[in-house]
Structure 1
């Protein structure tokens, strides 16, 4: 009887230890998220509403990843601008983004853009780069319909879920709303 209790206690403590170890390991994963760029190729590019939506994506994504337990690392905006050789440069040269993100203390860096080919839909696109070696971990694209904030948030949640699958697999998005559609 005592042997059974002892084994049961060992299993419980082992499970608790593994849970705490998993939480500690996940909390250690740090991500720098750079400002998203707007690639608007519609007939009316760069309208204030699209600029504002694009600017909001970084904060939404940071909030979703923080909620999951990731550590978000800030990268100085001047550093980003100095390293950027032009529109889309850092998106295409993740190794450069990795170098300054590593100096800031990040394990990974996400370089993203909002590509808007139509007034009806847009794509959140991003490259997740390992800051230690400059190699791409994942490339993500999520379609969003319209420019509504709720639709953008749902796209960001889907984006965070895709990123998380290549990282710690700890993110649980909020339950889907019946009126929101993303791919």
Structure 2
């Protein structure tokens, strides 16, 4: 009886180690989120700071969930971007940028603020290999406070992680 318990523990250990590394095979690049502020006071410093905080927090959450984050540089993103919303709408161009960084997937994000009462944290997960939109995310963050933004970014990270794990299992 003891041998079968030991064997199961060893098997569980190997599954944990190799299973985790297998799930981290997909390399994801997260671009700096853009702010699309449609309010009567667009682009105030607080909104710019909130928008700038999304990428590092999202990368940290994705890393905690076991994903392999590819470093990107903002200068390359700016060079590929022909204007507000361009990379968000042109998956093929975003995919080329992801390829430049050696990523399997690239996330192009936006903080869309149609009102002072709420904003949407949005993301397009694009497969670099063929420029295909894999997932389109939209999560609402009520109010401008940092707590709501952080909570919404965590929700986005969990959704991305779920999709990346599903994709890695299908390969």
TM-score (norm 1): 0.85
User: Residue 173 of structure 1 aligns with which residue?
Assistant: none
Structure possessing the higher relative contact order (Cα contacts under 8 Å, 6 or more residues apart) = 2
Matched length: 166
User: Residue 169 of structure 2 aligns with which residue?
Assistant: none
**Contiguous gaps of at least 5 residues in structure 1:** 170-183
TM-score (norm 2): 0.90
* Distance (whole Å) between structure 2 residues aligned to residue 47 and residue 83 of structure 1: 25
More helix by share: 2
* Distance (whole Å) between structure 1 residues aligned to residue 43 and residue 2 of structure 2: 67
User: Residue 126 of structure 2 aligns with which residue?
Assistant: 129
CA RMSD of aligned residues (A): 1.5
- Whether the 8 Å CA contact 2:65–2:161 is kept in 1: the answer is no
Secondary structure at the residue paired with 1:46? coil
User: Residue 117 of structure 1 aligns with which residue?
Assistant: 114
Question: Is residue 29 from structure 1 mapped to residue 30 from structure 2 by the alignment?
Answer: no
User: Residue 88 of structure 1 aligns with which residue?
Assistant: 85
Larger-gyration structure (1/2) = 1
- Whether the 8 Å CA contact 2:67–2:161 is kept in 1: the answer is no
Aligned-residue offset at 1:6:
4.6
* Distance (whole Å) between structure 1 residues aligned to residue 32 and residue 71 of structure 2: 11
* Distance (whole Å) between structure 1 residues aligned to residue 20 and residue 116 of structure 2: 42
